[in-house]
Amino acid sequence: MPASPPDPAGSREREVRHRAARVEDWIHDLHVRWARWRGQVPTVVPYTGYGSTEWVRVLCRVLLSRPIAEDEPSPRRRRRGEQGIRGWRSFTSAPVGDVPVMIDIAGQRIEVLADRGGVVDTRIPVSLVPGWHQATLTTAGAQPVEAPIQVLPPDASFGIISDVDDTVMVTALPRPFVAFWNTFVLDEHARIPTQGMAVLYDRLVRAHPGVPIIYLSTGAWNVAPTLTRFLSRNLYPPGPLLLTDWGPTHDRWFRSGRAHKEENLRRLAGEFPDIRWLLIGDDGQHDEAIYAEFAAEHPENVAAIAIRTLSTGEAVLAGGRAKADLEGVQAPWVSASDGSTLADRLTGAGIL
């Protein structure tokens, strides 16, 4: 039988995929060797997880960092354990892939492997009562850390999924220089909360006691500790952060932020089919289109959509405004430039 003719398109696809993975692995290998040569050891950075009374989703990342000295003051040791690696060090620290991480929760112990970027994102079957719980995470050579887990009650019927950039926090992430400045230079003290949004979220929590709030963003996992402190400092309700990992995937040089949001929305709809979500975002990127498509596909899972409209200056920095096709969207759709007006319009829609 004659050989099959070459497939130029398929060859190019395999070449791109192979090149991206090989370049990332090469950089990671050099970074890890350099960090270990400097005496750095694995550190588990815990993230907030969520789950039901029958399972939990545990999130963390393994990075190399300087060891905690024996004579380091106990408050600093405790802060390292609770908050992980702070500031720009979270970006310069080498991620450790394919290492075992031990997870202890509710008397159960399970070992999982971190992915190539050092991220652990795993679902564990466990029996828990609704409320907040702690999972203990550790890996060889690392200090144990505690990851908070929010367990939703079986009768939960309402929840909130919120964007972060330009929704709860004023930013201009798409512009490269401003993104660099906000990510590597500013800390949570210098970031600006969006006007009235913390009050809106507080009103939602008061109107719906125990409501789960999930912050879904295209930001990198590196900024999770900073974002968590920002949310707490500005009186936003606590909740899991679902972020992403920058860099190439198996089939492209850069990860798709839009795909990250779409995949997690569909996952949450599958995990909690009885919950109707209030989707909160802004009109500066893809939130409107993403939410509209999700609402059309899963009308039974969307209670309402609230969009913060950017000012003209913010829209310019964000790369313009997005337009969504609202055909097929049955849920109430409200928009305003601040949290107070959004609250009034959500009241009119029967959400508040």
Q: Render 188-216 in DSSP notation, one character per residue.
A: TTTSEEPTTHHHHHHHHHHHSTT--EEEE
Indicate the number of domains in the chain. Answer: 2
Instruction: Calculate the average pLDDT of the chain.
Output: 80
Give CA–CA dist 122/125, Å, rounded: 10
Same domain, 190 and 76: no
Q: Give the CA diameter of the chain.
A: 74
* Domain limit, last residue, from 100, 121, 151: 151
Q: 6: buried, middle or exposed (CB in 10 Å: 19+, 13-18, 0-12)?
A: exposed
In a domain, 191, yes or no: yes
Spatial neighbors of 146 by CB under 8 A, at least 6 apart, are: 46, 81, 82, 134, 135, 136, 137
Same domain, 140 and 170: no
Tens digit of each residue's pLDDT (9 = 90 or more) over 202-247: 999 999 999 999 999 988 888 888 889 889 999 999 999 999 875 5
Residue 139 clears pLDDT 70, i.e. is over it? yes
In a domain, 52, yes or no: yes
**What value does the mean pLDDT take over residues 65-70?**
64
Same domain, 163 and 78: no
pLDDT band for 145, please (50, 70, 90 cuts): very high
Per the structure, the complete domain to which residue 191 belongs is given by 158-348
Percent of the chain scored above 70 by pLDDT? 68
Same domain, 56 and 187: no
* Domain limit, last residue, from 92, 125, 151: 151
Amino acid at 344: D
* Domain limit, last residue, from 109, 129, 151: 151
In DSSP terms, 165 is beta-bridged to 169
* Global confidence as pTM: 0.82
Q: Looking at residue 98, which CATH number applies to its domain?
A: 2.60.40.10
Residue 292 clears pLDDT 50, i.e. is over it? yes
Q: Looking at residue 314, which CATH number applies to its domain?
A: 3.40.50.1000
In a domain, 194, yes or no: yes
Tens digit of each residue's pLDDT (9 = 90 or more) over 168-191: 988 755 545 545 555 555 555 557
In a domain, 272, yes or no: yes
In a domain, 258, yes or no: yes
Same domain, 97 and 208: no
Same domain, 143 and 172: no
Amino acid at 6: P
**What value does the mean pLDDT take over residues 53-58?**
97
Which of 134-148, 187-201, 215-229, 327-341 is the least confident region? 187-201
For the chain, how big is the Rg over CA atoms in Å?
21
Could you give the count of Cα atoms lying within 13 Å of 104 in the half-sphere of its Cβ? 8
Same domain, 326 and 188: yes
In a domain, 216, yes or no: yes
Q: What's the confidence (pLDDT) of residue 81?
A: 47
Give CA–CA dist 232/189, Å, rounded: 11
Tens digit of each residue's pLDDT (9 = 90 or more) over 94-120: 778 888 999 999 989 999 999 878 899
* CA dihedral sign of residues 60, 52, 288, 338: negative
Spatial neighbors of 311 by CB under 8 A, at least 6 apart, are: 337
pLDDT band for 125, please (50, 70, 90 cuts): very high
Same domain, 91 and 185: no
Same domain, 220 and 325: yes
In a domain, 27, yes or no: no
In a domain, 114, yes or no: yes
Same domain, 262 and 232: yes
Same domain, 237 and 104: no
Same domain, 186 and 332: yes
The interaxial angle of helices 74-83 and 224-233, nearest 10 deg, is 100
